[in-house]
Amino acid sequence: MADRPMPELLPTPAAPVPPADRIGAGVLNTFALIGGLALWGGRALVEALRPPYDVDEIVRHLYDIGWRSTPLLATSGFAIGVVLSMHTRASLERFGAEAMIPAGLAVAVVRETGPLTAALLAAGRVGAGIGAELGAMRVTEQIDALEASAVDAFKYLAVTRIVACMIAMPILTTVMNVSAVIGGFVAEHAISGMSWDLYLERAFSLIGFSDLLPSTLKTIAFGFIIGVTGSYLGFAAQRGTEGVGQAATRSVVLASVLVIISNVVLVRLIFFFYPQGGA
Amino acid sequence: MTRLAGVGLFVVGGLVLFAAALFMVGDRRMAFARTFRVATQFSRVTGLQPGAVVRVSGARAGTIRRIDPPTDPAGRFRVELDITEELHPLVRTDSVASIEAEGLVGGSFLSIEIGGADAPIATSGTMLPSREPFEIADMLQQMGATIVKVNATVDVLTGQVQHALDSVVVTVDNANALITSVSDDATRIASAGARISTDLADLTADIRDGDGTVAKLLHDDTLYRRLAAAAEHGEAIAGDTRQIVGDTRQIVGDVRAAVERLRGTDGQVTGLIDELRQTVTQSRSAVSGFADNMDALKRNFLFRGFFNRRGYFDLDAVSPDDYRKGVLTGGGERPAVRIWLTADRLFAPAAEGAAGTPVLTDDGQARLDSAMTAFLDQLPGGVLVVEGYSRDGSRQSQFRTARGRAATVRDYLVDRFGLDAQRSGAMPLGATPVETPELASWSGEGIALAYFSDPARR
Amino acid sequence: MTAVDLGERQGGAAATAAADAVRFRHVSKRFGTQAVLRDVSFAIPAGRAFCLLGRSGTGKSVMLRHIAGLVRPDEGQVLVGGRDVGALSSRDLASVRTGIGFLFQNAALFDSMTVGENVAFPLRRHTRLTEAEIVARAHQRLAAVGLEHDYGKMPGQLSGGMRKRAGLARAMALEPALLLVDEPSAGLDPMTAVEIDDLLLERKRAGTTLVIVTHNIPGARRLADEIAVLHDGRILESGTAAALDASEHPLVRRFMRSVGGG
């Protein structure tokens, strides 16, 4: 605890500075931020494995992060399914390949659209929530109060949230995928009257384990990123309500960007381990 | 506690949904079905991957387990696959495996044909026979090669044919009225030669047009096979054409020789003309064979199954001996129906003694016409052979007389009924009939019309 | 050990290092470019009430945070019960912290818990009491600060004074020997401020060492055994209220005469 560096963002220079210095400061800040996040995340992983496990807290956050995000994710997934179905229809109709709509939609959703959209929505809802909540706790000295009560605030506040995010994310992704497939079915049924059984049969015709497993499990990493970013920026919040808002906003932006960037790496990694990427 | 209930529902529900999805995938990948494992080999795997679908007669049957590359360039890829027990009885040791593409955008899958009912059921570890995948690229390459070959042949041959024909014309002019009957044939060859050029041009255009068709039927194996046949045709044409040219040269030579001899001495004129006529007849059959191939090729591109209807034999190449042994009956599949006609009813007696060119009488023509009516309704499919018989004189003279009779009747019938030259023949059989003539007045002199009907038609 | 001698001299009290509840030895601290504490040394004997006076931003709160180990000194040592807080392992620091109560300026109640749960929280984390005992103890602590009816309320439903009392109840949950108080009267009306001071006085009588950061002079006069005036990161002067009243230092005198509010 004592030897734990709390997140401290570099102070922005007060006096007007030459542009070159400002760019330099910006670059330094970015590196400091990335380094801080990496340390924060690394320690979170170590701490998550060390007892005590604050199961009650994890359950509480799972409720907030997972259960209460479900309606948002399910609704969005449904809408995305409907829209994707219309899009795939528009493009596949040209080749007379309407029969491919369910398969095309399912592959698109399961491989990328589902996980990424779920992660971005979670970054918005959950990342902002964590950033704001922890930011407020920092600003109102609740984090200090925890520390002063001999409680490891990092473990109690940050690790539990990060773990909850990592558990919730694949489940939310599954919810998203399922509702997108259902949404696609509703759109398909409305237009072509296709039966649920046939739709399901076709939807799964092109999906293999290597489509479903890695793309769903990679969202654990997304959950980790969202949790780490939110908690880091929340802990780093500056005094005042402005600091809380800033922590929330920055959490969303940074988490979203990091999710998208890490997705590139993860997809590359998945292709490395599953060279076929399909079948 | 509602929070705990929510979290429980969330986690358990999520896991159930995910497990259900995994099950759906696994079910379609036959991960839970009882399977048996067989193998097959390909020298090229064209995009086939472990995990790809296996279909038995189109039904989803299993998965590719592994693909082992060969250890040396001459080896083949070994493909191991699991097939569901449900379809086990259909997979026999003679079931052929092939790599097919799943629609326009899908991946490759392994297709296994249902085996023959007599073949034993494949067991675990059986090595199934395979058919190498064809690739559109290969096909196009082959097409390109064919076009080039045909073009080259056309270029070379047109020149040669033209040259030969010119010589023929010159020679024919030289030979003058002496050989009017031959000049008739020569003119025919000349016109056929003219057709060669246009036909080849058409063919080349057809093959070039084939590109468009090919693109549309990207994965039609049949098309590929037809194309391969087309390539063979192309070569056959080239061969035929060479023969024509060769024949023509011979004709030219013969004619020249004849003319020389005619100029030199007066003797043996008739024999020479006869010889010449024979050569011309042969040449004509080559020309008609060429035209035949050409037509077939054209029909080929219109997707007619020419090959199926065509006999698997070359009538010109059948010797009387083989003929007697029944090569044309196809092991009893094509029994012959014979109509016997004696020589005295067909040929004018005056010509009989002269060297081998019997002439049909009007009555003889009428008899042949009426005899042919028996075959007319099944005509295009089968093979008509005019058997010539004669028992007078030495064996050579028997043969020559028999051949003259058969050839005369055959020529008459070909002209009269527009018979397919490829599927009608003249067979000199001498004194001994192939079977006991169903004719009380059979004298041993005459012909028999033997019709071998098409087994596919019955 | 000149550092110890210096500390003792500046602390003013003739006590050994072990008997001191809190001792600062040449503590310096800077945040970025700004020096907050400059070579601060003093000692607080156990059972005494020590008030830190000073204008806002003079580093008073930072001194409290040093004691609780929330901030580590750049230079020097902070000893609590004779142990160097800045050099402790996290486990040892935790054991030091369980002996410290911290009442924050705005009480810092955990928003996600009820008032009762806030008070029960330290008990849950650091004792092996049964659930029933914890609830009973929490009720008892709340009753001691006059909040016996507010166990199930959320912190947001309480007034500023009530929050502060709840915060005090939480800080005292583990009955620590050392109580750190940051601005007890900040944001409160004078009456409520006096109520809070009464409660603190009660703690003092019970033997708890108090370290109070304030700019409320009347409150400090009531509570403190010793007062230190902090200015620009340094202790200008320390001593009893009467001694400071008689100080030669103009800033100290001016400070003692002002009537500090929130």
d(CA C237, CA C248): 10
**Pair A207, A107: CB distance under 8 Å:** yes
SS3 C78: strand
C91, C96, C101, C106: CA torsion to nearest 10: -50
In chain B, the residue whose alpha carbon lies closest to the alpha carbon of A206 is B106
Residue type, C252: V
Q: Which of B3, B10, B99 to mutate to test the interface with A (most CBs of A within 10 A)?
A: B10
Confidence of residue C8 (pLDDT cuts 50, 70, 90): very low
Nearest Cβ partner of B51 from A70, A213, A276?
Answer: A276
d(CA B200, CA B237): 9
**Chain A within 8 Å of B50 (Cβ-Cβ)?**
yes
d(CA C232, CA C58): 6
In chain B, the residue whose alpha carbon lies closest to the alpha carbon of A208 is B25
Q: Mean pLDDT for chain B?
A: 70
Contact C125 A1 (CB under 8 A): no
State both tokens at A144: 């200090």
Write the pLDDT tens digit of every residue in C149-176: 888 889 988 888 888 889 988 988 888 8
Q: What is the layout of strands, in order, in the sheet containing B336-342?
A: B336-342, B446-452, B383-389, B424-430
SS3 A95: coil
d(CA C219, CA B251): 139
Q: Mean pLDDT for chain C?
A: 82
For B2, which DSSP code? H
User: Kind of pairing, strands C34-45 and B446-452?
Assistant: unpaired
Predicted pLDDT at B282: 57
Residue type, B58: G
How many CA atoms, within 13 angstroms, populate the side-chain half-sphere of residue B9? 10
d(CA C220, CA C230): 14
Contact B29 A178 (CB under 8 A): no
Residue type, B407: A
Q: Angle, to 10 degrees, between the axis of helix A128-139 and the axis of helix A160-192?
A: 150
d(CA A192, CA A184): 12
Nearest Cβ partner of A145 from C72, C93, C108?
Answer: C108
Report percent pLDDT > 70 for chain A. Answer: 91
Contact A149 C104 (CB under 8 A): no
For A12, which DSSP code? P
Domain positions in chain B = 1-29, 33-131, 136-309, 315-457
Which chain B residues contact residue A178 at CB under 8 A?
A: 17, 21
Predicted pLDDT at C248: 83
Confidence of residue A121 (pLDDT cuts 50, 70, 90): very high
Confidence of residue B306 (pLDDT cuts 50, 70, 90): very low
Nearest Cβ partner of A178 from B10, B17, B26?
Answer: B17
**Pair C252, C243: CB distance under 8 Å:** no
Mean pLDDT across the stretch B40-68? 84
| First and final C-alpha spacing in chain B | 83
Higher-pLDDT residue of C8, C33: C33
Q: Is the pLDDT of residue A96 over 90?
A: no
d(CA C250, CA C241): 15
Contact C110 A142 (CB under 8 A): yes
Predicted pLDDT at A192: 84
Which chain A residues contact residue B6 at CB under 8 A?
A: 63, 67-68
Q: Which of A60, A63, A179, A200 to mutate to test the interface with B (most CBs of B within 10 A)?
A: A63
**Chain C within 8 Å of A152 (Cβ-Cβ)?**
yes
Rg of chain A over CA atoms, in angstroms? 21
Mean pLDDT across the stretch B375-403? 80
| CATH of the structural domain B136-309, one choice from 1.20.120, 1.25.40, 1.10.150, 3.40.630 | 1.20.120
d(CA A152, CA C102): 16
Which chain A residues contact residue B49 at CB under 8 A?
A: 276, 279
Give the closest-approach CA distance of A139 to chain C in angstroms.
9
Which chain B residues contact residue A175 at CB under 8 A?
A: 14, 17
Instruction: Give a three-class secondary structure readout of B232-297.
Output: HHHHHHHHHHHHHHHHHHHHHHHHHHHHHHHHHCCCCHHHHHHHHHHHHHHHHHHHHHHHHHHHHH
| First and final C-alpha spacing in chain A | 49
Predicted pLDDT at B418: 76
**Chain B within 8 Å of A45 (Cβ-Cβ)?**
no
**Chain C within 8 Å of A59 (Cβ-Cβ)?**
no
Which chain B residues contact residue A62 at CB under 8 A?
A: 7, 10-11
d(CA B269, CA A250): 113
Predicted pLDDT at A222: 93
**Chain B within 8 Å of A172 (Cβ-Cβ)?**
yes
Q: Mean pLDDT for chain A?
A: 85
Q: Is the pLDDT of residue A176 over 90?
A: yes
Least confident of A163-172, B159-168, C211-220, C243-252: B159-168
Give the closest-approach CA distance of B52 to chain A in angstroms.
6
Predicted pLDDT at B187: 56
Which value does ipTM take for this structure?
0.83
d(CA A151, CA C108): 14
Contacts across the A-B interface (CB distance below 8 Å) = 81
**Pair C67, C73: CB distance under 8 Å:** no
State both tokens at B28: 């379609």
Write the pLDDT tens digit of every residue in A204-220: 887 888 888 888 999 99
Confidence of residue A120 (pLDDT cuts 50, 70, 90): very high
**Pair C223, C201: CB distance under 8 Å:** yes
For C98, residues 6+ apart whose C-beta sits below 8 A from its C-beta are A149, A150, C122, C126, C174, C176
- Max alpha carbon distance in chain B (Å)? 129
Predicted pLDDT at A172: 94
Second-level CATH architecture of B315-457: 2-Layer Sandwich (3.30)
d(CA C228, CA C10): 11
Nearest Cβ partner of A171 from B11, B25, B104?
Answer: B11
Contact A174 B104 (CB under 8 A): no
**Chain B within 8 Å of A69 (Cβ-Cβ)?**
no
Write the pLDDT tens digit of every residue in A222-239: 999 999 999 999 888 887
d(CA A177, CA A118): 9
User: Kind of pairing, strands B383-389 and B35-42?
Assistant: unpaired
Q: Is the pLDDT of residue C37 over 90?
A: no
d(CA A237, CA A229): 12
Write the pLDDT tens digit of every residue in C40-91: 888 888 888 899 888 777 778 888 888 888 888 888 888 888 888 888 888 8
Residue type, B344: D
**Chain A within 8 Å of C121 (Cβ-Cβ)?**
yes
d(CA B365, CA B416): 10
Confidence of residue C205 (pLDDT cuts 50, 70, 90): confident
State both tokens at B125: 């570890």
Contact C110 A145 (CB under 8 A): yes
**Pair C166, C149: CB distance under 8 Å:** no
**Pair B414, B347: CB distance under 8 Å:** no
Per DSSP (E only), the strands in chain A are none
For B150, residues 6+ apart whose C-beta sits below 8 A from its C-beta are B200, B203, B204, B207, B234, B237, B238
**Chain B within 8 Å of A91 (Cβ-Cβ)?**
no
Contact C97 A150 (CB under 8 A): yes
Q: Is the pLDDT of residue B143 over 70?
A: no
In chain A, the residue whose alpha carbon lies closest to the alpha carbon of B10 is A67
Q: Is the pLDDT of residue C131 over 70?
A: yes
**Pair B162, B245: CB distance under 8 Å:** no
B255 exposure class (CB count in 10 Å sphere: 0-12, 13-18, 19+): buried
**Chain A within 8 Å of B7 (Cβ-Cβ)?**
yes
d(CA C51, CA C168): 17
Q: Which of C65, C123, C125, C183 to mutate to test the interface with A (most CBs of A within 10 A)?
A: C125
Confidence of residue B358 (pLDDT cuts 50, 70, 90): confident
Give the closest-approach CA distance of C102 to chain A in angstroms.
7
Confidence of residue B231 (pLDDT cuts 50, 70, 90): low
Site of tokens 């199954």? B305
Nearest Cβ partner of A174 from B17, B24, B52?
Answer: B17
Q: Angle, to 10 degrees, between the axis of helix C160-171 and the axis of helix C115-126?
A: 10
SS3 C254: helix
Predicted pLDDT at C61: 83
Which chain B residues contact residue A210 at CB under 8 A?
A: 51
**Pair B35, B84: CB distance under 8 Å:** yes
Predicted pLDDT at B454: 67
Contact C121 A149 (CB under 8 A): yes
**Pair B382, B249: CB distance under 8 Å:** no
C to B contact (≥3 Cβ pairs closer than 8 Å): no
Domain positions in chain C = 109-175
Nearest Cβ partner of C90 from A1, A11, A148?
Answer: A1
Write the pLDDT tens digit of every residue in C82-100: 888 888 888 888 888 888 8
